């Protein structure tokens, strides 16, 4: 086992990883930007190093600074959390060169799954159903030909894409030319790669993802699915496991597909395979996230498996000591993302000082956050400030528990989306479990 790990992240996820390390007896090294001097993860870690100015580009994304901190502190491994460097194949390669273990899959797998077009092709070859679409399109005329074949509406996506950039929804041929050049230009600016591909646009679908855990001995365990269909502008806001829209047969089939795919690509560590499920219960592969996810606690609550600890153990070369049968999904868990944004002002993100803080508690209520009273939320980073997760025997009970817990949450001084989440919980679409990715857009909640 590693005796010291550097956490190359901030906020609640850095705190989450540090907590796992403290339980495992591993020393922790935090890195922070100048804006994060007083952040909770800095206080919780055994050692800390400032790695640059507030802007993420100069600090949390600064590979040489993060590596320097690891070397100076003598950390044997780096946990990248989610976002920032977590899916950066180049960074994983540099870690290997410096003799530091990167807690995640190999650089080759990172690169292959990071190229969205190649990921689709790889999955197709592993007999995973994918959304119908084109391969890379070289120019406008070729793209148009491909579009004719797929049919409108369709999505144009950047192969290097991420975070919703380089994506355009095209409803008819009239919009095609403009969208093609705009999206390609945007992708080129954001990722230095203007490669585009087309995909059928599916509406009224569910976003279902499968959590997998694979060790380096070829063991693969699927830890249930998560339903992340409650989305606003392609951003998940509520997640639950198990999904109310997936039958047990469909579930079994889905897990088989995932297990086979993970073996084929030789995946190691924790990962998530994302699918769209149409009204007929058919699944289509969308993309794979080669890292820990924001919504991982939902799976932890229903399976009792600590995903972060297992990520670390797998990276240290230990085998999984359980199979899917040993960790059946028990009960129902729901997560709400608490964001520092104001729903009354078009969800404008904000920051500020937390003047009063009360966190919900009680049995099977979990709140992952890096907030503390008098903490000042810096404006430079993601607006996620906390995750409220509840677990209960049935879905109905979980929804009740979540409502009670949300009402108990008090964060004064900072505008957040707590009330908006409460409204959503009471909505018929959510209560019935039949909500889809387009349900908020249809209600005009944009």
Residues that bind another protein (CB under 8 A): 1-3, 22-26, 38-40, 42-44, 46, 48, 63-64, 67-68, 70-71, 74-77, 90, 94, 97-101, 313, 316-318, 372
Q: List the helix and strand counts (H, then E) for the chain.
A: 15, 23
Unique residue bearing structure tokens 């007999």: 127
Q: Which of 251, 291, 313, 366 is catalytic?
A: 291
Instruction: Give the sheet arrangement for strand 27-33, strand by strand.
Output: 47-52, 27-33, 4-7, 77-79, 101-102
- Least separation, in Å, of the C-beta of 50 and another protein? 12
Reported as half-sphere exposure (CB side, CA atoms, 13 A), residue 439 has a value of: 22
Q: Which is nearer to another protein, 175 or 193 (CB)?
A: 193
Q: Which is nearer to another protein, 129 or 373 (CB)?
A: 373
Are 301 and 391 in contact, with CB atoms under 8 Å apart?
Answer: yes
Are 212 and 258 in contact, with CB atoms under 8 Å apart?
Answer: yes
Q: Any catalytic annotation for residue 395?
A: no
CA–CA dist 249, 233 (Å, integer): 31
- Least separation, in Å, of the C-beta of 17 and another protein? 15
Q: Which is nearer to another protein, 114 or 343 (CB)?
A: 114
Q: Which is nearer to another protein, 313 or 401 (CB)?
A: 313
- Least separation, in Å, of the C-beta of 44 and another protein? 6
Nearest Cα residue to 57 out of 78, 85, 82: 85
- Least separation, in Å, of the C-beta of 74 and another protein? 6
- Least separation, in Å, of the C-beta of 70 and another protein? 6
Phi-psi region of 139 (alpha: psi -120 to 50; beta: other; left: phi over 0): beta
**Upstream peptide bond of 242 is cis (omega within 30 degrees of 0):** yes
Q: Which is nearer to another protein, 52 or 166 (CB)?
A: 52
Local structure of residue 3 (DSSP, 8 states): S
Give me 145's structure tokens: 């030909």
Local structure of residue 58 (DSSP, 8 states): G
Active-site positions read 291
């Amino acid at each position: 086992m590693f005796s010291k790990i550097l956490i190359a992240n901030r906020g609640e996820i850095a705190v989450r990883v540090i907590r796992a390390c403290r339980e495992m007896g591993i020393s922790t090294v935090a890195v922070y930007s100048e804006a994060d001097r007083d952040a909770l993860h800095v206080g919780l870690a055994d050692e800390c190093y400032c790695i640059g100015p507030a802007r993420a580009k100069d600090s949390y994304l600064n590979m040489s600074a993060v590596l320097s901190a690891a070397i100076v502190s003598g950390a044997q491994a780096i946990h990248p959390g989610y976002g920032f460097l977590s899916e950066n194949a180049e960074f994983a390669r540099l870690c290997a060169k410096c003799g530091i273990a990167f807690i995640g899959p190999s650089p080759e797998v990172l690169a292959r799954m990071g190229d969205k077009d190649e990921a689709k092709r790889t999955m197709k070859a592993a007999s995973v159903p994918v959304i119908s679409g084109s391969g890379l399109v070289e120019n406008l005329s070729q793209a148009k030909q491909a579009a004719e074949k797929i049919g409108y509406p369709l999505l144009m996506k950047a192969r290097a894409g991420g975070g919703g950039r380089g994506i355009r929804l095209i409803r008819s041929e009239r919009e095609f030319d403009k969208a093609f050049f705009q999206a390609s230009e945007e992708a080129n600016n954001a990722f230095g790669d203007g490669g585009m591909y087309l995909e059928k646009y599916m509406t009224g679908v569910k976003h279902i993802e499968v959590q997998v855990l694979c060790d380096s001995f070829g063991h693969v365990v699927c830890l249930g699915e998560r339903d992340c269909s409650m989305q606003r502008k392609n951003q998940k806001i509520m997640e639950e496991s198990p999904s109310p829209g997936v039958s047990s047969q469909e579930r079994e089939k889905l897990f088989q597909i995932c297990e086979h795919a993970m073996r084929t690509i030789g995946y190691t560590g924790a990962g998530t395979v994302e699918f769209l499920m149409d009204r007929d219960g058919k699944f289509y592969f969308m993309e794979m996230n080669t890292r820990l996810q924001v919504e991982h606690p939902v799976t932890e609550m229903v399976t009792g498996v600590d995903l972060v600890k297992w990520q670390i153990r797998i990276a240290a070369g230990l085998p999984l000591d359980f199979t899917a049968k040993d960790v059946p999904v028990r009960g129902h868990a729901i997560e709400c993302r608490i964001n520092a944004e104001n729903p009354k002002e078009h969800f404008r993100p904000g920051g500020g000082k937390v003047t009063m803080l009360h966190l919900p508690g009680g049995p099977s209520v979990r709140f992952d956050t890096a907030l503390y009273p008098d903490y000042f939320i810096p404006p430079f980073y993601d607006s996620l400030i906390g995750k409220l997760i509840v677990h209960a025997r049935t879905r109905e009970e979980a929804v009740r528990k979540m409502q009670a817990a949300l009402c108990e949450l008090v964060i004064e001084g900072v505008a957040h989306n707590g009330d908006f989440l409460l409204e959503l919980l009471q909505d018929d679409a959510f209560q019935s479990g039949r909500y889809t990715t387009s349900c908020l857009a249809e209600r005009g909640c944009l």
